[in-house]
Amino acid sequence: MLETAPPHAKEHQTDRFHGGLIGRQPTPPQDVSRLKKSKRDQGFHPGWLVAPATTWLIVFLVVPLIGIVVFSFWTPKSGGMTPDFSVANYVNFFAQEGFLDTDHRNFLKPSIFVTTLWTTFRFTFTVMIICLIIGYPIAYFLAMQVKNFKWQLALFLLAMVPFWTSYLIRAVAWLPMLGRRGLFNKMLQSLGIIDKPSSFFLYSEFGYTMALTQLYVVLCIGPIFFSLAKIDKAIIEAAKDMGATNFQVFREIILPLSLPGVAIGMIFLFVMLMGEFATAVVVYGGKTSTTGTVILNYYAIANYPFSAVNAIMLMLAMMIGVVFILRIVDIRKEL
C-alpha cells in the first residue's frame, strides 16, 4: 500500500526513471514488497473497463425498452403520436367493441390481440416440448454415450452448426420440402400412403411447428449438453455398483442434475419463440399472425403506441413464463 510506505520509498518512486535521462533502474528488492499494491488495486480499474459497454447498452438497450413503456401511454395521431397520456391503447388491446355490453355478440369475448398472444404462446409451448423431447436424447447421447473427447466435440459442433448459419435461409429451405409438390408429398405418394398431393404441410400448423422445431432445437441442446457433461461420472459408477438399474440412474441422478441446463434451454427457446415473426410469414404464409407480426403491422401503419402496447404484453407474457420456469428449477446455483 502506497500510503503506508516509508518516505524513502516514495522518493524512490518519483525519481525512478531519473527524468528519463539515465534509463530505467531496477527497483531494489526490499522496496518491491512495499510498493506492491494490495489485491484490490491490481489490474485496470473496473470503472474504465465497463464504461464503454455500459454506455452502449444504456443507449441501445435500456433506453429503447423504457421508450416502449412510455410510448404505450401516448396518443396515436395520423402519421405519429403525441405525448398525451392515455390508456385507450391498453383498453383496445383487451376489449373490442361491445365487450361490456351484455346484448352485444362480442360480450366478454377476448379481442383478436389477446387471442393472437394466446396462439403465439400455444405454438411456443408446443415447440418447446417437442424440442425438449427431440433435443434431450441428443444431448444425452453426446454427453454420456460418446466417450472419446474429440468425437464428442466434433459431433457436438456438427449438431450446433445451424446456429451459426442464417436462420432466415433455413426457413426458406423448408419451402421445397413442404409444398403440394414438395418432397414430403412426393415421398408419401411413392410410399403409397397418400394418393393425392396433400396441402397438409405448407402453410399449415403441422408444417409451421415442424419448421420451428428444426430452426430452434439446437438452442436447447447446448445448455442441456453442458449440464450433462458436468455430471461427475463417479456418482453414476457408485450408483451402478450399488445395483441401480440404468433407468434408476437416469431418474435419480442424471435427470435432476441436468434440470438447470434444461431450464436455461427452455428459457432460451421460450423467449426466442415468443418473439418469432419471420417464420410465420415464410412457412405459414402469413395465414396466422403472431404477436411479433402484429407489432410490425401496427408499426407499418404508423400506430406506434398500439405497437408498443403489444410489445409490452409480449414482454409481460415472457416474464411470467421465465419466472414460472425459474420457480420449477433453481438455476441460480449454476450461474
Partner 1 sequence: MARWTRRRAQALAVKTGFSFYYIVFIIFIFGPMIAMFVLSFQGRRGGSSFPMRGFSFYWWERLLQPSTIGDLQGALGRSLILALVVMAITALFATMLAMAFRRKFWGSNILFYTVMLGLMVPGVLLSLGLATLMRQLGIPPAWWSSGLGVHVVWTLPFGFLVMMAVFNRFDSRLEEAARDMGASEWTVFREVTLPLILPGIVAAGLFGFTLSYDEFARTTLLSGEFNTLPLDINAQMTQRVRPTLFALGTASTIFSLCLIGLFVVVYTILYRRSR
Q: Which of residues 116-175 bind partner 1 (CB under 8 A)?
A: 134, 137-138, 140-142, 145, 155, 157-159, 161-162, 164-170, 172-175
Residues 290, 311 contacting (CB under 8 angstroms): no
> How far is it, in rounded angstroms, from Cα 124 to Cα 205?
12
Question: Interface residues for partner 1 in 53-82 (CB under 8 A)?
Answer: 53-54, 56-57, 59-65, 67-68, 71, 80-81
**141, burial (CB in 10 Å: exposed 0-12, middle 13-18, buried 19+):** middle
Q: Which residues contact 35 (CB under 8 A, 6 or more apart)?
A: 2, 5, 9, 13, 27
50 touching partner 1, by CB under 8 A: yes
Shortest CB 208 distance to partner 1, Å: 14
- The rounded distance, in Å, linking the Cα atoms of 138 and 141 is 5
Kindly state the cell numbers that stand for 247: 433407468
Q: How far is the CB of 103 from partner 1 (least distance, A)?
A: 38
d(CA 118, CA 124): 10
Taking the complex as a whole, the smallest distance from the CB of residue 256 to partner 1 amounts, in Å, to: 21
CB of 257 to partner 1, least distance (A): 19
Q: Which bin fits 302, alpha (ψ -120 to 50), beta or left (φ > 0)? A: left
Q: Which is nearer to partner 1, 110 or 179 (CB)?
A: 179
Beta strands in 5-119 (DSSP E): 75-77, 80-82
Total number of residues that touch partner 1 (CB under 8 A): 87
Binding to partner 1 (CB under 8 A) within 204-263 occurs at 214, 217-218, 246
Closer Cβ to partner 1, 217 or 224, answer by number: 217
User: Site residues for partner 1, window 282-321 (CB under 8 A)?
Assistant: 282, 292, 295-296, 299, 304, 307-308, 311, 314-315, 318
